[in-house]
Amino acid sequence: MVVSYTALLGDVWRKISESINPTARELASRYGYLDYAVARYYEILGGWEYVKELLEAFEKPLSRTIRVNTLRFRDSREVLERLEKLGYEFSKISWESFSYIVTKTGRIPLGATHEFLLGGYYLYRGAASLISPLALLPKPSDVVLDSAAAPGGKTTHLAQLMGNRGVIVAVDVSRERFRALRSNLERMGVENVVALRIDSRKIPGIFGEHFTKSLLDAPCTGEGIIQIDPTRKTKTSFEDLVRAHKRQVELLTAAIHSTVPGGLIVYSTCSIAPEEDEFTVAEVLEKLNNVRVVKPSVGLDLEPGVTEYFGIELPAQLKLCGRTYPHRHGFEGFFICVLEKV
């Protein structure tokens, strides 16, 4: 029997409403969240002590992260030493070869240094954005589709991992964000990217099955980056989650249709909402019979994907997806799923 996981979101909302208890209301009031959001966190994490840890972690600022750009500077130490002279200090990220957490701020903002303007590094709000390009395992011989690519952090990361070889088609529909994408490509010396301002859902009709690998860091509600935007505690309704889910299903379906058999597709969000994460992948798995989930290989200890949510069983292979949480990983909440087209 065909299951519509999109349709099942109506049942999810009913069960969420029934699960809102005094503890959920008290924590929601204390930390400034909508009641339904906190009830969902309990369902995901499995204990109120973990929910409290998550809510406390969301109150703490993110540590800025830089990725030194070896397309401009072959020796990472040169960039780091220049920034250290400005008073900055860094801690190496063990699972990404050229990335560092900022442990002490210097005299000049990181977005205004000569080294930044020269393309010496890309500046991130947190470290989670480094995960999805690594999980795609891009090679110099690949033809890569980067959907929803702006402002370019993942595009420039892919180009660096590919050594400016192969081809990346970077797509974004937003005019303003597309300007930022073009600016970052030029600043960081990227030469293997074709940038297109178009809705990525149209890509299969233009290219067909063309790309060996595809990355979709999907537009989402941002429920994993409350440290950056606290308004996300209250501005996202359940209907907003459902609308985001439906668009994400369309975007992910298009990315899969654009990828050749045997290719990899990475789907990621800066959200911890199962409605946008596992339910999106589950809907695509139900619609298409030519993709399977494979475990990300990123050198980072990820939490497994959700396979049961308010009594609704999701495909068992979603356990192979990865999640990060602020209270467990020290940076944003993030979801990643690697699909292989078979």
Task: For 132-165, write each residue's pLDDT tens digit.
Answer: 999 999 999 999 999 999 999 999 999 999 999 9
Whether 223 shows a pLDDT value over 70: the answer reads yes
Q: Are 341 and 256 in contact (CB under 8 A)?
A: yes
145 contacts: CB under 8 Å, gap ≥ 6: 168, 169, 171, 200, 203, 207, 210, 211, 213, 214, 215, 255, 258, 259
* Over residues 107-131, mean pLDDT: 97
Torsion of CA 206, 207, 209, 215, to 10 degrees: -100
Dmax (CA) for the chain in angstroms is: 64
pLDDT at 192 over 90: yes
- Residue 1: the pLDDT is 67
Separation CA 171–CA 46 (nearest Å): 38
**3-state DSSP assignment of residue 4:** coil
Which among 177, 269, 271 has a CA at the least distance from the CA of 225? 271
Q: What structural domains and CATH numbers belong to the chain?
A: 65-124 (3.30.70.1170), 128-341 (3.40.50.150)
- Catalytic: 270? yes
Rounded mean pLDDT of 297-325? 97
Mean pLDDT of 297-317: 97
Strand, helix or coil for residue 187 = helix
Q: What per-residue confidence (pLDDT) applies to 143?
A: 98
Give the pLDDT band of residue 3 (cuts 50, 70, 90). Answer: confident
Whole-prediction pTM: 0.96
Whether the per-residue pLDDT at 271 is higher than 70: the answer is yes
Secondary structure of residue 264 in the 3-state scheme: strand
Over residues 284-302, the mean pLDDT reads 96
Please give the pLDDT value at position 118.
97
Q: Given this model, what pLDDT does residue 251 score?
A: 98
The rounded mean pLDDT for the chain is 97
> Is the CB of residue 215 less than 8 Å from the CB of residue 169?
no
Residue 272: count of CB within 10 angstroms of its CB: 27
